[in-house]
Amino acid sequence: MNSNRFPESFLWGGATSACQIEGAYNLDNRGLSIADMVKFVPKEQRKGDRPPNVTRKEIQEMLNNEGNYYFPKRYGIDFYHRYKEDIKLFAEMGFNVFRLSISWSRIFPNGDDEKPNEKGLRFYDSVFDECKKYNIKPLVTLSHYDTPLNLALKYNGWSNRKLIYFFIKYAKTVFERYKDKVDLWLTFNEINVIAKNPYIGGGVFLEDSDNPLELSYQAGHHQFIASALATKIAHEINPKNKVGCMLARTVIYPETNNPLDIIKAQRANQMNLFFTDVQARGEYPGYILRYFKENNVYIKKEIGDDEILKLHPVDFISISYYKSVTESSNSNAERLSDSLFTGVKNPYLETTDWGWQIDPIGLRWALNDLYYRYRMPIFIVENGLGAYDRLEYDNKIHDDYRIDYLKKHIIQMREAIKDGVNLMGYTTWGPIDLVSDSTSEMSKRYGFIYVDKDDYGNGSLKRLKKDSFIWYKKVIESNGENLA
Ligand code: BG6
């Protein structure tokens, strides 16, 4: 790369998920998903910044008393009815890629239905056609934190091997249907979340087991097999299909150069990269076998599983990247707020209003590390700043803090490309404000486009361009050269 321009084929855009934008949770035969059962809990009553690991009993209670709760992910930002307006705005910024997910329960309302729901399939036909109108390539996630609720309640989600069968049926349905419209796919969003929050990651209720750790990793194994089989089928249906895995990559640093800290951080990085190790290299690495042994985890595999993993690795690696984490061997060290990926304070880094440690250089580190570990193309499919925005009297939103965050990350992407990393593209998280995954807030905003809606569901849903909208448009126009 001679100039500061990104490679000519570079994909620029934004990323969303069905359960955080669509709404229309009960329209056109859609079934409920696990995301629809996450109630809103105001900040003062929340324990840290962590999505709840809901129990079966709590779900039943909420289903019986629905009127007592507000479930923000049922309503999203009404993309279901406003997708034309939204995609037009993305096109105005110059997107050539748009990451979205298909809501599984829109296609198979109960997850285990005989036939797909035609109205659901038609909706995505229209969305993909709209993208095509503007030459925007859809990058489609099959499962983004929204396992059909029935699969959770009836089978205990991904802990049950039957889910592989249901998922494959769903994957095959959409691969065939959208054969001429989509050729970039991701199987599971942030697949490593299954080990951290099995309800969100796979509709698993931990109380069903006396060995929750084992149950979580067993569910992960089922997702690995489902993902490998989906990759195989995607290639058979359309040889042009490219399928990626998706990891929540949180770089973990040692607190000091004490070898005990170094080894602790290395182990934590391995536990994070275990998922891509399996999906890219097609086998369980030795460090995880040791961990399983020492923690009484016995994964039930069927004959042929190892072969499936080996024969059908992914075509590319995709990651979300928001922050880095620091680990310490000192068990008394104070830990940061209770989020899914947490550690001790890094004095060199600033934090967001939600306590996430901002670390653009960590992104360069992560990209180099991943690329030279797997030698596969990498796609950053999520990165962004969740922040409170202020709507000025003249309907303007001056989000220079967001521009600053994104600019610094793009500079490090550029450095990584100069280091030789094969980076395919970049989709910032939430190009339009959407419902937060972890907190279900609307006030944790990521967008270039402001959506007039508050945490309690009030607002006109009107879309407004923020300052970052104009800025990102210039970045894309100049293929990453102009970051001013
Ligand atoms: C990723 C998820 O973890 O981070 C998204 O894939 C999520 O669904 C994003 O929205 C940002 O997290 P949050 O909790 O701020 O919405």
Atom 7 of ligand 1, nearest CA residue: 437
Q: Determine the angle formed by the axes of helices 118-133 and 162-177, rounding to 10 degrees.
A: 50
Q: Could you tell me if the CB of 384 is within 6 A of ligand 1?
A: no
Q: Distance from the CA of 52 to the center of ligand 1, in angstroms?
A: 14
Q: Is 255 exposed, middle or buried (0-12, 13-18, 19+ CB in 10 A)?
A: buried
Q: Could you tell me if the CB of 357 is within 6 A of ligand 1?
A: no
The stretch 180-201 carries a mean pLDDT of 97
334 band by pLDDT with thresholds 50, 70 and 90: confident
Q: Could you tell me if the CB of 320 is within 6 A of ligand 1?
A: yes
* The ligand 1 atom nearest the CA atom of 248: 3
Atom 2 of ligand 1, nearest CA residue: 437
Q: Could you tell me if the CB of 436 is within 6 A of ligand 1?
A: yes
Residues 6+ apart with CB under 8 A from 333: 255, 344
Atom 15 of ligand 1, nearest CA residue: 436
What is the per-residue pLDDT for 155? 98
342 band by pLDDT with thresholds 50, 70 and 90: confident
Q: Distance from the CA of 275 to the center of ligand 1, in angstroms?
A: 18
* The ligand 1 atom nearest the CA atom of 17: 8
- Phi and psi of 281, rounded to 5°? -100, -15
Contact 44, 13 (CB under 8 A): no
> 263: which DSSP letter?
H
Q: Distance from the CA of 31 to the center of ligand 1, in angstroms?
A: 23
Counting residues of the chain whose pLDDT is more than 90, the rounded percentage is 93
What are 344-398's pLDDT values in tens digits?
Answer: 999 999 999 999 999 999 999 999 999 999 999 999 999 999 999 999 999 999 9
Contact 101, 144 (CB under 8 A): yes
Q: Smallest Cα–Cα separation from 314: which of 393, 234, 412, 257?
A: 234
What are 253-277's pLDDT values in tens digits?
Answer: 999 999 999 999 999 999 999 999 9
* 378 beta partners: 317, 423
Testing ligand 1's pocket by substitution, the residue of 437, 442, 444, 455 carrying the most ligand atoms inside 8 A of its CB is 437
Domain annotation for the chain: domains and CATH numbers: 11-477 (3.20.20.80)
Q: Distance from the CA of 430 to the center of ligand 1, in angstroms?
A: 9
Give the H or E element holding residue 310: helix 305-311
Specify the pTM.
0.97
* 100 beta partners: 140
Active site residues: 382
What are 83-127's pLDDT values in tens digits?
Answer: 999 999 999 999 999 999 999 999 999 999 999 999 999 999 999
Q: Report the alpha-carbon distance of residue 227 to residue 103 in Å, rounded.
A: 17
Contact 111, 105 (CB under 8 A): yes
Atom 8 of ligand 1, nearest CA residue: 437
Q: Smallest Cα–Cα separation from 222: which of 273, 188, 252?
A: 188
Q: Is the pLDDT of residue 1 over 60?
A: no
Q: Distance from the CA of 293 to the center of ligand 1, in angstroms?
A: 32
Q: Could you tell me if the CB of 117 is within 6 A of ligand 1?
A: no
